[in-house]
Amino acid sequence: MTTPATAKRESVFQRLYTGTGAFDVIGKRMRWYVALGLLVLVCVGTMGIKGFNLGIDFEGGTKMQLPAVGAQGPISPDQVQEGFREAVGHPAETVQLVGSGGSQSIQVRTETLSPDDVAKVKDVLFDRLQPVNAQGQPSEQTISDSAVSGTWGGEITKQALIALGVFIVLVTIFLTFYFERWMAVAALISLLHDVVVTAGVYSIIGFEVTPATVIGLLTILGFSLYDTVVVFDKVKENTRGLLGLTRRTYGEAANLAVNQTLMRSINTSIIALLPVLGLLVIGAGVLGVGVLRDLALVQMVGMIAGVTSSILLATPLLVDFKMRDPKYKAQAAKVRARRDRAAGKAESGDEPQQEEQRREREMAAAASAPARTGKGPESRRRPAGKSGRPTGKKRR
């Protein structure tokens, strides 16, 4: 026999696996609104006050590169940074090791330098480090320099914004025709949340924004939308013909859909994050490729924000939008009236044990969970044909 105490002993993983509506996501939606709203306000405020750490491709500057091997042995980024500081009096913005094996090199990015300053840096680096060419001979020609224009990064951003606009229009059309208007609105609000939060995290932590970051931001939109569509598809299935039924309200059906897809959302996110972590660890940590690091960072932040918003924001918003419709308000009133009638009948004649079982059956019906069937002597029905009235016979 399943009792309330037994239900309480179910672990979180059991409730995730069964997906029977044990997590009241919709009922606690005001908590999610407040928490996610505060997060968005912090992100917007940080972007407005602190701004972004724009890379050289957006602001323009000078890029220098030299082999990671010198006449005295391997060259470290710290040695290059010291030489750069000695030449111009201030450190470079970034000095990093890129590539692997024999093609490994050190890349220096800094603000725009004059030709004289570039010549000074080359002279100091060559005198101190003696970088070697492909023949193994020290050569100043191995230290290359190039001027990076900030207009290139701006052009990349412009094209990305155009792609984002086209993507949002096409997504809106798809969701409106495949689902309905309010599902499309809720999905777009969730999508906007993901973009703002991802950009805000970059501003708060100070990650460098590069063209690869902008491209990565576009890739997470598809993942976020996919997770939202999976949940909405289950909501659509659970609410089919709901207006003619009094078993559960729209909010309860949507909450059941979230619970039924919760385990899938978690599994999908974990599987999707594994290759992203691989890019971050192998691409940036081992190979030292900055582009891979930028892509991995934005995708990891965006995926976490996407799965959170699809569960805690998109579906609760959909419920609030739908419950503004008089038809769904009337259906919810019918559900409450039916439950009140059932409760009144129980209070007028049922015994305490029968009342407890009735409540369990009601809750099970709302969550599609198996209801408890009484097997004790108190819950046994009287045999057919016999009444509970006195017969006048004397008991022995």
| 8 A C-beta contact, residue 96 and residue 103 | no
Residue 15 pLDDT grade (very low, low, confident, very high; cuts 50, 70, 90): low
Q: Residue 78 has what pLDDT?
A: 87
Domain boundaries in the chain? 21-53+151-324, 61-148, 329-367
Residue 158 pLDDT grade (very low, low, confident, very high; cuts 50, 70, 90): confident
pLDDT digit string (tens) for 282-294? 766 555 555 677 7
Q: Residue 196 has what pLDDT?
A: 92
CA Rg value for the chain: 32
CA–CA separation, 199 and 52 (whole Å): 9
Per the DSSP assignment, residues forming a β-bridge with 94 are 109
pLDDT digit string (tens) for 319-362? 999 999 999 999 888 888 888 887 777 665 554 445 545 554 55
Q: Which CATH architecture has domain 61-148?
A: 2-Layer Sandwich (3.30)
Residue 175 pLDDT grade (very low, low, confident, very high; cuts 50, 70, 90): confident
Residue 1 pLDDT grade (very low, low, confident, very high; cuts 50, 70, 90): very low
Q: Residue 290 has what pLDDT?
A: 59
CA–CA separation, 23 and 262 (whole Å): 10
Judge if 21-53+151-324 and 61-148 fold alike in CATH terms: no
Highest mean pLDDT (candidates 38-42, 130-134, 366-370): 38-42
Q: Residue 6 has what pLDDT?
A: 47
Span 197-221, mean pLDDT? 82
| 8 A C-beta contact, residue 225 and residue 307 | no
Span 120-146, mean pLDDT? 85
How many C-beta atoms lie closer than 10 Å to residue 75's C-beta? Answer: 25
What's the topology of domain 21-53+151-324?
Multidrug efflux transporter AcrB transmembrane fold (1.20.1640)
pLDDT digit string (tens) for 364-385? 455 444 444 444 444 444 454 4
37-46, 208-217, 303-312: least confidently modelled range = 208-217
Q: Residue 37 has what pLDDT?
A: 94
